Amino acid sequence: MHVTCHPERAAVVGNSLGLGPASDEVVGIPDSLSCGPAAPVRDLTAWCAEREAWWRSSDGAPGEDLPENHYPGLLETCERALAAPELTLWLEPGANYQLLAGWLAELLLARGADVRVDLVQVERDALLTPTRLGRGRPRKRASLSDLERLAEVWRVWCAPTPDPILEYIANPARPALSRAALRTLLDHYPRSQDGLNHWEWRCLHALRDHSPVVARAICDTLIRPDGDGCEEIGDLWLLGRLRRLGAARLRFPLLEFGSTSVPRIGFGTARLTDAGESVIAGTADAITLNGIEDRVGGVTLKSPGGPVWRRSESGLERTDR
């Protein structure tokens, strides 16, 4: 069984292997593990239900009651992969892939599963063709110690404080790809300058400078600055972040959403409020204005009433206000 991130990636891998885009021999785990809260997988059924509930909360219009099966298939796909006697895990350098490898290794170790796991590291599976498969590194059989090393990536992401992830990133003995991937996840923390995370800051600028259409601003944010593909954080996660910034319950919402007949904010418009303009201008701070209650991996950010870690040039800085 071949495993990678996301069903659309699985189709690419299937085509590249000559198996076709809908092969039963290739599965894409329908989740972006770098997005939202992370927790150890003690019960796979409960864990998948919590992930699907979180994704539903990031989609739709405020007050819309999305059906329970709006994001179906996570548990079934995971069980299908775990039932295979042999797994080939196709990995890119990005955080979602490194977290997937760690998450899968943690599951296999916890279950004591007698599964043979091969690892194939490629530059980017979206660019794979049958003639380019040779650009991937040779397939490597994962030993028990390899699985433990992979699982450590998932464990530090699930830790209740950022200390383990910072120690991992700073340790030159850890794999360079995993360290680089985890370093990108620090951008999910609010910035020291304005209380927005990196992606919120980019998306608010796109709304103001490029297009008031939310879907267009999200696309502009996802396109890599070098034009080479898209960022891996995902459109639904960004949509959920914008909904939070424009929530009516906030004392000073940073966004105001326009009316739309389509029951998804992503297809409507939004404009920055005066508070939003002040925040991206650097003259106001989003957390000072509205507080924060958020999760980055396993870390809870809460203000007032709890610790907040902010992204700075040196890494992360803790504040208790």
Do 143 and 270 share a domain, yes or no?
Answer: no
184 domain-assigned: no
Mean pLDDT within 11-33: 88
The tally of domains found in the chain comes to: 2
Confidence band for 69, pLDDT divided at 50, 70 and 90? very low
CA 194 to chain CA centroid, Å, is: 22
In residues, how long is the chain? 321
Q: Are the beta carbons of 236 and 218 closer than 8 angstroms?
A: no
Q: Are the beta carbons of 256 and 270 closer than 8 angstroms?
A: yes
Q: Which of 272, 267, 270 is nearest to 215 (CA)?
A: 267
pLDDT tens digits for 103-116?
Answer: 999 999 988 878 89
12 domain-assigned: yes
46 domain-assigned: yes
How confident is the prediction for the chain on average, in pLDDT? 86
* Segments forming the whole domain that contains residue 261: 189-319
228 domain-assigned: yes
- Domain C-terminal end among 152, 176, 200: 176
182 domain-assigned: no
CATH code at 228? 1.10.10
- Domain C-terminal end among 151, 176, 201: 176
More confident residue, 86 or 53: 86
181 domain-assigned: no
Do 129 and 270 share a domain, yes or no?
Answer: no
Report the 10 Å Cβ neighbour count for 141: 9
155 domain-assigned: yes
pLDDT number for residue 15: 86
Do 21 and 166 share a domain, yes or no?
Answer: yes
Do 198 and 155 share a domain, yes or no?
Answer: no
Do 122 and 202 share a domain, yes or no?
Answer: no
More confident residue, 61 or 20: 20
Please give the Cα distance from 187 to 312 (Å, whole number).
9
Please give the Cα distance from 245 to 252 (Å, whole number).
9
Q: Which residues contact 184 (CB under 8 A, 6 or more apart)?
A: 94, 95
